[in-house]
Amino acid sequence: MTLRRRALTQFTISGLAMSGLAALATPARADAPRVTIALVPIYGTDPFYTTMNRGARAAAQAVGATLLYQGPTEPSPVQQVQALNAVMARKPDVLLVAPADRTLMVAPLRKVALDLGVPVICVDTYIGATPATYQTGGGEADFPLCYIASDDAAGGALAARGLANAIEGAGQVYVSATWPTVATLGRREEGFRAEMARSFPNVTVLPTQYTGMDPAKAAIQLHAMLQQAPNLAGVFCVNPGAAVGTFNALKEAGRSGMVKLAVIDATEQMVGALKSGQVDLIVSQHPAEMGWLGTMLGYGVATGQSIPTRIDTGFTLMDRKNIDDPGMKRFIYAR
Ligand code: T6T
């Protein structure tokens, strides 16, 4: 891989100013090719993906492309395949997809890429081996042209450093996760555990609890963990689906603010919890940039350009000291 290509594939975007990039995209000329791009999320109502869609729409408007956004009502590979079939019937030129399962979605997406001949770009999550690397010439899941997402292991490590600092470098913590089959979430847990082991020997990471996005289950798990570890110091929630039930249960137990919480994703609900003291650190991703870049690169592919195989869209750290800074507003997942 040439140095330039490596530089491109490792081109990390942190704090991307979409307005700046938008300025690079001149308005579409009347004779510009009409390109249709489809975006299929894990599930369509998730604020993370509606924010991704907002960025995708901005890019589609800048280049005069048509954007189709179609996702299941809940996270399920079976439902995602149904959404995929529906959107492919509308014959898009390029598919952007956040695979709901890194194994089960290989065959359906391979059909799109190789049988239907529609280029596939993975956004947020991925298919195949970890870390996601594509166009290498090997393997069943090598066909996506690019993977545009956060480096989730790095996100887990950021959360570990923030949580360790919040508990003054010592104590028992655990990871509250949601779905074990979604590639990104497992990487966050791995990155969190590795960083704690590497840098914080006095922090003990207890067994991970899987909530399946069910706040009631997260609450039951929190209460059980408080029984197991009465001096529990902190919890890392891999996304808001794990955080809501956790911080509600802490409030019920009268432990809000005493057990520190770090969470990935800056939904408006998580920002409200940060401001009210129920959450202590947010590691915000950049879903709007993922959607914007996915659409721009998809347009490039549809008009004959080659594109990098990996774009890392970075993170923004939010706490009570900086959350009201003007520059933070655009990283909050507002619909
Ligand atoms: O955390 C995001 C996303 O990055 C992850 O892949 C799935 O969950 C979210 O959509 C949040 O619900």
Please tell me if the CB atom of residue 280 comes closer than 6 angstroms to any atom of ligand 1: no
Instruction: Name the residue with the closest Cα to ligand 1, atom 11.
Output: 239
Q: What is the mean pLDDT of residues 330-334?
A: 95
Q: What is the mean pLDDT of residues 176-184?
A: 88
- In sequence order, the 6+-apart residues with CB closer than 8 A to the CB of 67 are 36, 37, 38, 39, 53, 56, 57, 60, 295
Residues 146 and 156 in one domain: no
Report the separation in Å between the CA atom of 107 and the middle of ligand 1, taken as the mean of its atom positions.
22
Number of domains in the chain: 2
Please tell me if the CB atom of residue 75 comes closer than 6 angstroms to any atom of ligand 1: no
Residues 70 and 184 in one domain: no
Q: What is the mean pLDDT of residues 81-108?
A: 97
Q: What is the mean pLDDT of residues 246-268?
A: 96
CB 132 within 8 A of CB 122: yes
- In sequence order, the 6+-apart residues with CB closer than 8 A to the CB of 287 are 48, 49, 51, 52, 55, 124, 333
Round to whole Å and give the CA distance between 172 and 191. 17
- Provide the residue range defining the domain that includes 201: 152-284
Amino acid, single-letter form, for residue 234: G
Does 89 reside within a domain? yes
Count of beta carbons in the 10 Å neighbourhood of residue 181? 16
Does 324 reside within a domain? no
- Take residue 183 and report the two structure tokens written for it: 């590639």
For 289-330, what is each residue's pLDDT tens digit? Answer: 999 999 999 999 999 999 999 999 999 999 999 999 999 999
Q: What is the mean pLDDT of residues 163-177?
A: 98
Residues 21 and 86 in one domain: yes
Q: Angle 287-302/47-63 helices, nearest 10 degrees?
A: 40
Query: Helix, strand or coil for residue 108?
Result: helix
Burial pattern 128-149, b for ≥16 Cβ within 10 A else e, equals beeebbbbeeeeebbbbbbbbb
Three-state secondary structure string covering 218-232? HHHHHHHHHHHCCCC
Round to whole Å and give the CA distance between 149 and 314. 8
Write down the pLDDT at residue 181. 80
- The CATH number linked to 301 is 3.40.50.2300
Report the separation in Å between the CA atom of 287 and the middle of ligand 1, taken as the mean of its atom positions.
9
Residues 164 and 135 in one domain: no
On the question of pLDDT at 237 being above 70, the answer is: yes
Write down the pLDDT at residue 31. 72
Band (pLDDT 50/70/90 cuts) for residue 202 is very high
Report the separation in Å between the CA atom of 174 and the middle of ligand 1, taken as the mean of its atom positions.
19
Report the separation in Å between the CA atom of 97 and the middle of ligand 1, taken as the mean of its atom positions.
13
CA-wise closest residue to 218 among 209, 227, 208, 229? 209
Residues 134 and 28 in one domain: yes
Write down the pLDDT at residue 295. 98
- Take residue 21 and report the two structure tokens written for it: 């990039």
Residues 48 and 116 in one domain: yes
pTM, full prediction: 0.91
Residues 51 and 169 in one domain: no
Q: Which string of DSSP letters, residue by residue, matches 68-94? A: EE---SSS-HHHHHHHHHHHHTT--SE
- Take residue 75 and report the two structure tokens written for it: 């996270």
Residues 109 and 236 in one domain: no
Write down the pLDDT at residue 180. 80
The whole-chain average pLDDT of the chain stands at 92
Band (pLDDT 50/70/90 cuts) for residue 24 is very low
Write down the pLDDT at residue 11. 40
Q: What is the mean pLDDT of residues 75-96?
A: 97
Does 176 reside within a domain? yes
Does 329 reside within a domain? no
On the question of pLDDT at 252 being above 90, the answer is: yes
Residues 94 and 143 in one domain: yes
Report the separation in Å between the CA atom of 240 and the middle of ligand 1, taken as the mean of its atom positions.
8
Residues 218 and 258 in one domain: yes
Does 308 reside within a domain? yes
Please tell me if the CB atom of residue 125 comes closer than 6 angstroms to any atom of ligand 1: yes
Does 190 reside within a domain? yes
Residues 204 and 295 in one domain: no
On the question of pLDDT at 73 being above 70, the answer is: yes
Instruction: Name the residue with the closest Cα to ligand 1, atom 1.
Output: 239
- ω into residue 180 within 30 of 0, thus cis? no
Does 321 reside within a domain? no
Write down the pLDDT at residue 289. 98
Residues 305 and 185 in one domain: no
Does 335 reside within a domain? no
